[in-house]
Amino acid sequence: MLRLDKITYRIGARVLLDAADATINTGHRVGLVGRNGTGKTTILKLIAGLLDLDGGQIHMPVRWKVGLTHQEAPSGEQSLLDTVLSADAELVSLEAEAETATDPNRIAEIHSRLSDMQAHSAHARAARILVGLGFDNDAQQRPCSEFSGGWRMRVALASLLFSEPDLLLLDEPTNHLDLEATLWLEGYLRTYPGTIVLVSHDRELLNRAVSEILHLEHSKLTLYQGGYDRFEKTRRERLELNAKQRARREAQTAHIREFIDRFRYKASKAKQAQSRVKMLAKMQPIPEDRDEASISFNFPEPTFLASPLLTTEHLTAGYDDNIVLSDLDLRLDSDDRIALLGANGNGKSTLVKILAGRLQPLSGNIEKSKRLRVGYFAQHQTEELDVEATPYILMERARPRDNEPQVRAQLGRFGFKQERAETKVGDLSGGEKARLNFALITADKPNILLLDEPTNHLDVDSRQALVHALNSFNGTVILVSHDPHLIETTVDTFWLVEGGAVEPFDGDLDDYRSRLLGRRQAQRGETPKSEKEKPPKAEYVDKKEARRIAAAKRELIGPLKKDTTDCEAWVKRLERKKAEITKELANPALYDEGADNGHVIELQMKSAKMESDLSEAEQAWLDALDALEKAQN
């Protein structure tokens, strides 16, 4: 087993781990979770022996082979398949020695060990892992140098999985994967023969691939049974119970103090009062749970536009002579919630760039509503932020006509209060940069949100905040993501981007999983698994119902929000007119001798009428706000 015994680790004056304990049994799969910056990656490095503890000890079997996610992508002219095979140093060494060994006894030892390692199936196993991570047979023969950094990080992950360490330490393994590869990895980890410690913000991966959750909070570790949803429920119940016990203890303490204060100096009760003083001294206060500050997103309400918002006709897209998508006839309406499915390289990002106006079509037409505003989120935008500027400066650049309160209000929607709004971007965490990007792309109150992998830098809580924000957003959403939880809880329509075409996918993510599994089994000549072997769908049914409720809520709230906005605009118009009349009535020249009294009377009558209309408009506004609040609750 793996045992962390009162481990302590500091970075300067900051304590990341303070006498933290945890025990992970052999063969168990554990998800390590906690807010960004709390020290999850540090724990993996401590276990792997890459960092030295300031206190405590880490115990594990001496013969265990430990594997940690590589931080650097492999490169060079070696093929992908050979790169993965070379990850098992013992296998490579034995195979090389088998070619040159002459001693019969040593040859027998080598072949015995190779047999134990199942060396005969090593090539097939390496190829199967590469296929699962998105590399077909042709790609496996190409050198690493021909692939981008993201694809080479997949090769690094494949190498780690192929080496099959006894203790597998995975740090955000899905960051460079698409949905298809993420779903494959989920299945692979469920059947992994060794012990796993997995750091991930992917809620579905933590629900499906692990059986325990190790929570890092306030420099301590707490182990919970079950996946992430069960952990969240158990922790919430524990916090509620602790709050009740603390309230009970405080009431008990107050009662004892009251008795002491009343009878301390009364002779007949002095002994009892003294007894209670001793009792009070022995009662340990129950510490208050210092729950971390919650993260919230709040997308501005877009102006209502009639459908369709955007249509394409015979559209062809690509780069120079390379056609990626062809003959697309698409339509986006004001209530669409669409996720794009399909393996990397099939054109999902290309389609999003076309819809965002960042890429011009090679041929065909795009028709957009005249007042259409589009918010486009892409991973590279977060990486390209001006690191020397502050969030306030970047928002001011993006919205030069807005005043300071308006700039700060938009930043505040995404958790940037005074201090963080004045912090240099280079000093922000990855999650904060992502939230800043959201603040920038939605400052214009877009009707359509185009989100291309928006969760890469967000922790679990921030991803859940994004789910709530998208479900409250009364506009159109197009989503590309490898996070199944985000997809399942925010969209109700799927488009499959494959083979240069974009077609509706009639099904849900479980159907898409089955489709991928069937395709891989067919490629390997295997018989599809029975229904009994499929993962249970109970959890998915709940999410499907949640999506249906969210969609119904948006349908109900949309018109109410419009009514509220219209009433507010009505009030403001009347207030402006009333102010104009009041200003005119305050003009001394109106009351000069010989002035037209009829005009004064007319203005006074208009003022009275305006007062009446304004009262009616304000009441309508209040009624609309009340109806909206009831619907939201």
Q: To which residue do tokens 């499907």 refer?
A: 544
For residues 248-263, give the mean pLDDT: 71
CATH number, domain of 86, equals 3.40.50.300
Q: Is 129 in the same domain as 22? A: yes
Q: Is 222 in the same domain as 247? A: no
Nearest to 311 by CA among 334, 294, 287: 334
Nearest to 48 by CA among 223, 218, 192, 170: 170
Q: Is 462 in the same domain as 568? A: no
At 530 the pLDDT is 46
pLDDT above 90: percentage of residues in the chain: 22
Give how many domains the chain has, as a whole number: 4
Which one of 202, 232, 262 terminates a domain?
232
Asked if residue 522 belongs to a domain, the reply is no
Q: Is 195 in the same domain as 69? A: yes
Length of the chain: 633
Q: Is 246 in the same domain as 337? A: no
At 533 the pLDDT is 43
Nearest to 627 by CA among 565, 564, 570, 568: 564
Q: Is 204 in the same domain as 240? A: no
User: If DSSP codes are grouped into helix, strand and coil, which group holds residue 258?
Assistant: helix
Q: Is 265 in the same domain as 362? A: no
Report pLDDT digits (tens) over 57-90: 999 998 898 999 877 778 888 888 888 888 877 7
Asked if residue 512 belongs to a domain, the reply is no
Alpha helices in 399-501 (DSSP H): 404-412, 418-421, 430-441, 460-472, 484-490
Report pLDDT digits (tens) over 381-390: 777 788 889 9
pTM of the model: 0.68
Q: Is 492 in the same domain as 587? A: no
Across the beta sheet with 167-171, the strand order is: 66-68, 167-171, 195-199, 29-33, 212-217, 220-225
Report pLDDT digits (tens) over 405-428: 888 988 888 888 888 888 988 888
Asked if residue 515 belongs to a domain, the reply is no
Asked if residue 325 belongs to a domain, the reply is yes
Asked if residue 52 belongs to a domain, the reply is yes
Domain containing 274 equals 233-282
Asked if residue 615 belongs to a domain, the reply is yes
Nearest to 365 by CA among 307, 305, 316, 309: 316
Q: Is 590 left (phi over 0), alpha (psi -120 to 50) or beta?
A: alpha
Element (H, E) at 353: helix 348-356
The residues, any chain, with a CB within 8 Å of residue 283's CB and separated by 6 or more, are 249, 252, 253, 256
For residue 420, the one-letter residue type is R
Asked if residue 276 belongs to a domain, the reply is yes
Rounded to 10°, the helix 391-398/404-412 angle is 120
Cα 392 from Cα 398, distance rounded (Å): 10
Side-chain-facing half-sphere of 246: CA atoms under 13 Å: 11
At 29 the pLDDT is 94
Q: Is 395 in the same domain as 493? A: yes
Q: Is 94 in the same domain as 135? A: yes
Are 493 and 547 within 8 A, CB to CB? no
Q: Is 493 in the same domain as 577? A: no
- Residue 538: pLDDT over 70: no
Asked if residue 537 belongs to a domain, the reply is no
Alpha helices in 480-590 (DSSP H): 484-490, 509-524, 538-585
CA Rg, the chain, in Å? 32
Q: Is 488 in the same domain as 581? A: no
* Phi–psi pair at 66, nearest 5 degrees: -110, 130
Angle at 369 between CA 470 and CA 408, to 5 degrees: 45
At 384 the pLDDT is 79
